[in-house]
Structure 1
C-alpha cells in the first residue's frame, strides 16, 4: 500500500457517506417545526395567558424593589413614610386602573388622541375560555395594571422626604387613573402616535418617561428638601439610611424587568415567540450590566472613588434604556444602549444639583433621561421605525405628562398644601405623618 492509498480510500468512503449525511440533514430540516407555526388554539391561549401572568407577577414584584430602593436611599427618619407610600400607590393604581385607566388606555379610536370610554372596566369574558382573544382577558388587565403602578413608583422616590401623604396619594389617583392611561392610549391603544409609526416596545417613554416627567414637575413645584442647597451654592449630602437595602431593591427591580420586557412580547404560542422572549431576556440583562460597569468606571474617573448609588442607578438606567426596543438589538448593541444609560446617570445627577433640582433617588436621570435616550435610539436597531416618529412621541408625552402633572401639583399646593411645615419636615415624616418610625432606636438626623 503506497502513500496515496489511505487518502484515496478516505475520499472514496466520503463519496458514499456524504450523500447519506446530506439526505439525513434534508430529512431533519423537513421535520423541523416552523418557527411561525402556532400550537392549537387552546394551547396558545394557555401559553399566552401564562406569559401575561408570569410577567405580571414579576412586574408586581418590582413594587417591592422600588420600596426597598427608596427606603435605603432616604434618611432613617423617613423610611416608614416611603414604605407606606409604595404600598399605598400600588393599591391606588390597581383600583384606578380598573375604575378608569384601562378603558381610557384601550378605548381610543384608531389614530385618536382621547378615549371616548370613561368608566370601570367590565372584564367581559372573565372565567370563560374565549380562545378567540388568544389570552385571558383578566391576565391582560393584570399585566397592564402593574405597569401603571410602576409609573407612580417613579414619582415617589424623587419627591421623597418633603411631601405629605394625602397630597401624594391624591396625585397618584390622577396619575394612574387619567394621565398615564391617556399616554398609553396614544401608542399601545392604537392612538395617534401609533399611527405615526412611533414604537415603544415595553415603555421607555410610555411608562418611565411619563413617571419621570411627573416627578420633575413635582420636584420643581414642591422644591428641595430643607438644607439640601446652601445659600453659597454648596450641595449638602444627605446619605441614605441603608445601602444594603437599596442594593436589594435594585436586584429585585432587575429581576422584575425580565417580566417587564420579556412578557411585552405578548405571545408565547409559537417557537418564534418563545425564542424572541429569550433574546429579550439576554438583551435586558446585558444592558443593565453595561449600565453598572459604565457607572463604576465613570465615578472612578470623576470622583476618584466609586459611588455605589451611581452603580445601582446605572443598572436601572441600562434597563430603562433597553426597554423601548429589547428585541432587535444584537448583544453588542444592547451593551452600547445600556452603557450610555449608565453614562447619563453619572453626568445628569450632578447637573440636577447644579440646577437645584432635588431628586432624592435619582429617578429623573434614570427614568426620564434614559427613557428618552432609549426611545430615540430605537431606529438604530429597528430600521422600520422612523426617527421623527420617535422624536414626536417623546415631545408629545413630555408636553402632556409634564403639563398635566404640573397642573395637579400646583392645584394641590395652593389648596390643601403639599409640604409639611419646617418643624415637621426636620423631625421626619415617620414621626409626623406615619406615627411608626422605621428605626426608633436611632436619633433623628
Structure 2
C-alpha cells in the first residue's frame, strides 16, 4: 500500500501531462484546419481566373513557412535574448518545457502560418507568385518571430519582473492571450502595406477616382471558409491555454470557448445590421467578415473578459470592420479584395485595446484605471509599427529589385494559367 501511494502523485502528474499534451495537439490540428478556411474565403471573395494562384499561396504559406519556422524562426522567438532570441537551427533542446517540445513547436508553427496567410488575400489577383514566396520567407524567419519574442517568447512587452520596462512604465504588462495583435494585426498591417505598394487591380477605380465593386466568384466557398475558420478558432483561442484543466492561474478553457463564440456571433449580427442600414441590403459578404472581425477582436482578451464584454467587443468589431473597409477602399484608395486589412489589422488592434476596457480585473470599465489600457495601446502600437515598417521595407525592396506586380495582360487574363500553367476550373 505504501508503494502504491508513493506512485499515485507521479501517476496523476503523468495523466495531467498526457491530457494537456493531447489537448495542445488537438488544438494545433484545429488551427491547422484554418488554412483551408483562409484558402476558401480568399478564393470565394476573388475572381475565378486567379483561384489556383490563391490556393497555391495558402498551400505555400504552410509548407515553406513550417520548414523555415522549424529551421530558425522558433529559436528566434523562444531563445534567450533581449530584442530577439538566439537562433538554434533545427535544435529544439534549448527550450525547457513541461509539454513535449515537438508538440509545442507544431502548435507555434500553425500560428506562424496563420499570420503569413492573411496577406495573400489582400494582394490577390495581381502579385507575382515568386515575390510572394520571398515574403513568406521574411515573415516566417523574421517579422513574426521577433514580435513573438517580445511577447510570448518572454520579451520586454510581457516581462512582468520588477524593474522591467513595462512594469516601470505602466505597472503592468501587455496582454494578448491568443494573438489579436501578435498574429492577426501583424498579418493585417503587412497586408495593408503590401496592397498599397502593389496597387489596385485594373478597373478597381474609375477615371473619376470612384471605387468600383469587383465581386468575388463564389460566396458559397467564402461562407464555407468562414465556418471552417470559426471552427478552427476553438483551437486557436482555447488552445492557447496549453492545458485542458483550469488550475492555479489558468482560466478554464470552457470560458474561452464561450467568449470566443459570443464575440463571433455579435460581430456577424452587427455587421448584418450595419450593412442593411448603410447599403439598404443585408450583405452576406460583410456579415461573413463581421464574424471574422468578432473572432479577431476577442482573441486578445478571451481569457480576461466576461461574456457581456465579449459580446461588446464582437459588436464593436463588426461595426468598425465595415467602417474600416469603406475608409481603406474609398479614402485611402487601397484595393483589398477580401477585407483582410480591416478584419485582421483594424479589429486586431481594436480588440487588443478593448481588452484594456473590458478585462474584469484590470480593465478601465471595472475600476482598473488607465494603466492596463495604456499598456494594451502601447503594445498594439509597437507591434503594429514593427509589422508595417518591415512590410514596407520588404515589399518596397522587392518592387524596386524585381517588381511585385504581374503585367497587365497576365492580370487581365488571370494568374492561374500564366503563373501556374493550370486552372482551378476546367
For residues 51-78 of structure 1, what are the alpha-carbon distances to aligned partners after superposition, in whole Å with 9 as ceiling and x for unaligned? 1101100000000100011111110101
Match of 2:124 in 1: 160
Please name the residue that 2:84 is paired with.
Answer: 114
User: What secondary structure does 1:359 align onto?
Assistant: coil
Shift in Å, 1:273? 8.3
TM-score, scaled relative to structure 2: 0.89
SS in 2 for 1:100: helix
Describe how 1:23-422 pairs up with structure 2 within 5 A: 40-109=12-81, 112-115=82-85, 117-124=86-93, 133-195=97-159, 196=166, 197-269=173-245, 276-354=252-330, 355-382=332-359, 383-384=361-362, 386-422=372-408
Q: Deviations over 1:30-53 (max 9, x none)?
A: xxxxxxx99822112111111110
Provide the alpha-carbon RMSD of the alignment.
1.9
Determine the C-alpha separation between the residues in 2 that align with 1:71 and 1:292: 20
- The DSSP-based 3-state class of the residue aligned with 1:405 is helix
CA displacement at 1:417 relative to structure 2: 1.5
CA contact (8 A) 2:245 2:252 kept: no
Most deviating of 52-61 and 231-240: 231-240
- 2:158 is paired with a residue of what secondary structure? helix
**Aligned residues of 1:38 and 1:44 also touching (Cα < 8 A):** no
CA distance in 1 between counterparts of 2:344 and 2:300 reads 12
Q: CA deviation at 1:381?
A: 3.3
Between the aligned partners of 1:99 and 1:64, the Cα distance in structure 2 is: 24
Say if 2:45 and 2:219, in contact at 8 Å, map to a contact too: yes
Contact 1:223–1:357 under 8 Å retained in 2: yes
| CA-CA distance at 1:121 after TM superposition | 3.5
Q: Secondary structure at the match of 1:230?
A: coil
- Corresponding position of 1:34: none
Q: Answer whether contact 2:45 2:217 (CA < 8 A) is retained.
A: yes
Shift in alpha-carbon separation, 1:74–1:299, aligned structure 2, 3 A: same
Residues 245 and 253, structure 2, Cα contact 8 Å, conserved in 1:
no
Q: Deviations over 1:349-387 (max 9, x none)?
A: 111111211111000110010001111011223334712
> Which whole-Å CA distance do the structure 2 matches of 1:393 and 1:259 have between them?
24
Deviates further, 371-380 or 37-46 = 37-46
Whether the 8 Å CA contact 1:74–1:240 is kept in 2: the answer is: yes
**Unaligned regions of 5+ residues in structure 2, if any?**
1-8, 160-165, 167-172, 363-370
Deviation at 1:125, TM superposition (A): 9.5
TM-score, structure 1 normalization: 0.86
Runs of 4+ with >3 A deviation: 269-275
**Cα distance in 2 for residues equivalent to 1:233 and 1:93:** 38
Give the conservation status (yes or no) of the 8 Å contact 1:51–1:268: yes
Aligned pair count reads 396
Instruction: Measure the CA separation in 2 of the matches of 1:272 and 1:114.
Output: 30
Offset of residue 275 of structure 1? 6.7
8 Å contact 1:39–1:270 — kept in the other structure?
no
Whole-angstrom distance in 1 between the partners of 2:10 and 2:129: 49
- Which stretch has the larger CA shift, 351-360 or 145-154? 351-360
SS class of match (1:414): helix
